[in-house]
Amino acid sequence: MQLFDTLIRRGRELQPIDGRTYRFYCCGPTVYGPAHIGNFRTFVLQDVLRRTLETGGISTLHVRNITDIDDKTIRDSMAAGQSLKAFTDHWKEKFHADCAAISCLPPHIEPSAVEHIPQQVSMIETLLEKGNAYTSEDGSVYFKISSFPTYGKLSHLEERELDLGKTQNTRANADEYDKASISDFVLWKAHRDEDGENFWNSPWGKGRPGWHLECSAMIAEYLGDSFDLHSGGVDLVFPHHENEIAQSKCACGGNFAAHWFHIAHLLVDGGKMSKSLRNMYTLADLQEKGFTSMEVRYVLIGAHYRKQLNFTLDSLSGAREALHNLAKSAARLAENMGGETMLPSAEFGPFQPAWESLNDDLNIPAALGHIFTALRESSRLTGIDAAAALAGLNRILKALGIALPEISTSEVHAPPAIKALAETRWAARSNHDWETSDRLRDELSTLGWSVKDSKETYLLSKL
Ligand code: AMP
Ligand code: ZN
């Protein structure tokens, strides 16, 4: 499989370093509220990458952390009058429920930052010993980026005229900062009043780890100093991933990640999601509007991962229709199989071009296009050919993590003349030609068929 690598800015073959298991790390959610659909764009794309590798016969080790301590989790747990643990446990549970609903496979290992404080302290000790970090007056510890000459390679900071010398006296204590401030970043934050009870003892006094450190410490624990791939949304390239590289390479040696997979952002109605614009959707928000999580998943995978995706409610209606059409085609193939049984297959049959698109820089939109073309071309297959096509379809849908909605079997079994009448009626209805639509409904009813409309489609059943 070929995938674009942010570091070298071109595609590269994915091969497990150890020749057996593809070991990869994804920066996980910060559990201080419900994940929004932008977060899910990233998690769903990582899930399709994993499913594609596994469908191709490569076993994987997927590690994704939980950020349960940082500026935001502390601030909001204190505002809610809850312990950090009770507060973050609640949102972690909600995140797991959402992941299950949207069909993301659970990672094999899901370590949390709070459960790895000793590993983080020990990494800071190593960085201090090696001269890559220093303590400040208040008992905080900072990473000295001038001690790591290749800092900034991933985000191509050299093109932004990075002068490491200039950073010597600037420091960032906040967990998040922007591109304008390339500065020494905090590894250990000395305790402040606003942290309340959230502190640990360390050789430098009471405090807590800085946000960037947790991933480096957990990667060292579960994946060692060199592993296959690291991933997150594009916002993490700088500074988070640059800082991880600096910490890990200085503390552990090794190559760190062999490949970097970043997912472009999801926009809503053409702009950034924000609470104040009231366009920050969670899965629950969309379920309340009557959409299913599978429809949301379908929209999220619908654009190439290196392009921004503009989310609209209309795109969810389109997803509903597409999924319904897929389900109808699958049911038709099952019907055409006659007495044949469908055996699970290692082949893709007519869906081979879709599989090739998935393996070509995870081109899901092209794969979906090929799936619909192959379905049109396979609609007249019968017997064993229909069975083979259905097996191929199931295999490609599994790689995409798509589960098809239930459709009424009577709809599939309706005679062509009835189906044609129903289609004409639907077209009339879509054109607001209520008179024709009502007349055709009566006609269908006389012929023994009832038709039930939903917002996006209709269901035929025998009276
Ligand atoms: P967070 O919970 O903020 O740490 O983010 C979890 C993941 O979602 C990270 O990989 C982020 O890069 C990613 N992410 C955040 N916002 C978006 C967005 N609008 N579109 C796609 N991914 C995002
Ligand atoms: Zn991370």
Q: Using 50, 70 and 90 to split pLDDT, how confident is the model at 169?
A: low
CA of 264 to the centre of ligand 1 (A): 9
Asked whether the predicted pLDDT for residue 301 surpasses 90, the reply is yes
Percent of the chain with pLDDT over 90: 79
Asked whether the predicted pLDDT for residue 176 surpasses 80, the reply is no
Residues with CB under 6 A from ligand 1: 27, 29-30, 38-39, 41-42, 67, 232-233, 235-236, 263, 265-266, 273
CA of 27 to the centre of ligand 1 (A): 9
Whether residue 185 contacts residue 210, with contact meaning beta carbons closer than 8 Å, is answered with yes
pLDDT in tens, 324-335: 999 999 998 988
397 CB neighbour count, 10 Å cutoff: 17
DSSP state of 50: H
Domain contains 403: no
CA of 232 to the centre of ligand 2 (A): 8
In whole angstroms, what is the distance from residue 389 CA to residue 348 CA? 7
Tokens of 367: 């794969």
Tokens of 57: 């016969």
330 CB neighbour count, 10 Å cutoff: 19
Nearest CA to ligand 1 atom 19: 38
Which ligand has the shortest distance to the CA of 42? 1
Asked whether the predicted pLDDT for residue 282 surpasses 80, the reply is yes
Atom of ligand 1 nearest to the CA of 234: 12
Identify the pLDDT of residue 338: 82
Which ligand has the shortest distance to the CA of 30? 1
Whole-number mean pLDDT of the chain?
A: 92
Please give the full DSSP string across 275-337, using - where no structure is assigned.
Answer: TTTT---BHHHHHHTT--HHHHHHHHTSS-TTS-EEE-HHHHHHHHHHHHHHHHHHHHHHHHT
> pLDDT higher for 183 or 298?
298
Dihedral sign for Cα 247, 248, 254, 257, please. negative
Atom of ligand 1 nearest to the CA of 42: 22
Atom of ligand 1 nearest to the CA of 233: 12
Please compute the mean of the pLDDT values over residues 81-85 and round it to a whole number. 97
Whether residue 255 contacts residue 245, with contact meaning beta carbons closer than 8 Å, is answered with no
CA of 412 to the centre of ligand 1 (A): 41
Identify the pLDDT of residue 275: 65
- Sole residue written with tokens 């930052």: 113
The last residue of a domain, from among 263, 287, 304: 263
CA of 280 to the centre of ligand 2 (A): 23
The last residue of a domain, from among 228, 244, 263: 263
Asked whether the predicted pLDDT for residue 277 surpasses 60, the reply is yes
Which ligand has the shortest distance to the CA of 36? 1
In whole angstroms, what is the distance from residue 298 CA to residue 404 CA? 11
Asked if the peptide bond before residue 239 counts as cis, ω within 30 degrees of 0, the response is: yes
Dihedral sign for Cα 193, 196, 201, 207, please. negative
Domain contains 415: yes
Q: Using 50, 70 and 90 to split pLDDT, how confident is the model at 456?
A: low
CA 321 to chain centre: 23
Asked whether the predicted pLDDT for residue 343 surpasses 90, the reply is no
Q: Using 50, 70 and 90 to split pLDDT, how confident is the model at 166?
A: low
CA of 125 to the centre of ligand 1 (A): 30
Closest CA to 187 of 152, 217, 163: 217
In whole angstroms, what is the distance from residue 103 CA to residue 51 CA? 11
At 141, is the secondary structure helix, strand, or coil?
strand
Nearest CA to ligand 1 atom 7: 39
Atom of ligand 1 nearest to the CA of 26: 10
Domain of 89: which CATH number?
A: 3.40.50.620
CA of 437 to the centre of ligand 2 (A): 56
Identify the pLDDT of residue 423: 86
CA of 119 to the centre of ligand 2 (A): 15
CA of 233 to the centre of ligand 1 (A): 5
Atom of ligand 1 nearest to the CA of 272: 19
Which ligand has the shortest distance to the CA of 237? 1
Identify the pLDDT of residue 339: 77
Asked whether the predicted pLDDT for residue 69 surpasses 80, the reply is yes
Tokens of 259: 């490949």
Percent of the chain with pLDDT over 70: 94
Domain contains 283: no
Tokens of 17: 């370093």
CA of 38 to the centre of ligand 1 (A): 6
In whole angstroms, what is the distance from residue 343 CA to residue 390 CA? 9
**Site to substitute for ligand 1 among 32, 235, 272, 307, most atoms within 8 A of C-beta:** 235
Which ligand has the shortest distance to the CA of 267? 1
Atom of ligand 1 nearest to the CA of 232: 10
Q: Using 50, 70 and 90 to split pLDDT, how confident is the model at 196?
A: very high
> pLDDT higher for 284 or 338?
284
Identify the pLDDT of residue 217: 98
113 CB neighbour count, 10 Å cutoff: 26
In whole angstroms, what is the distance from residue 148 CA to residue 80 CA? 40
| Domain membership of residue 449 as a residue range | 408-463
The last residue of a domain, from among 248, 263, 278: 263
Q: Rounded to the nearest 10 degrees, what angle do helices 117-129 and 211-222 cross at?
A: 100
> pLDDT higher for 175 or 270?
270
Q: Using 50, 70 and 90 to split pLDDT, how confident is the model at 455?
A: low
Q: Using 50, 70 and 90 to split pLDDT, how confident is the model at 269?
A: confident
Residue 206, Ramachandran bin (φ over 0: left; ψ between -120 and 50: alpha; else beta): beta
Which ligand has the shortest distance to the CA of 35? 1
**Site to substitute for ligand 1 among 30, 32, 39, most atoms within 8 A of C-beta:** 39
At 459, is the secondary structure helix, strand, or coil?
strand
Please compute the mean of the pLDDT values over residues 426-436 and round it to a whole number. 91
Q: Angle at Cα 13 formed by Cα 7 and Cα 17, nearest 5°?
A: 85
Domain contains 395: no
Please compute the mean of the pLDDT values over residues 124-141 and round it to a whole number. 96
Identify the pLDDT of residue 165: 53
Domain contains 331: no
Q: Using 50, 70 and 90 to split pLDDT, how confident is the model at 215?
A: very high
Domain contains 372: no
Please compute the mean of the pLDDT values over residues 168-179 and round it to a whole number. 64
Please compute the mean of the pLDDT values over residues 4-9 and round it to a whole number. 97
Whether residue 133 contacts residue 142, with contact meaning beta carbons closer than 8 Å, is answered with yes
CA 249 to chain centre: 27
Identify the pLDDT of residue 173: 73
In whole angstroms, what is the distance from residue 392 CA to residue 384 CA? 12
In whole angstroms, what is the distance from residue 425 CA to residue 419 CA? 10
Please compute the mean of the pLDDT values over residues 80-85 and round it to a whole number. 97
Domain contains 135: yes
Atom of ligand 1 nearest to the CA of 267: 19
CA of 242 to the centre of ligand 2 (A): 10
Domain contains 399: no
Q: Using 50, 70 and 90 to split pLDDT, how confident is the model at 162?
A: low
Number of domains in the chain: 2
Nearest CA to ligand 1 atom 2: 29
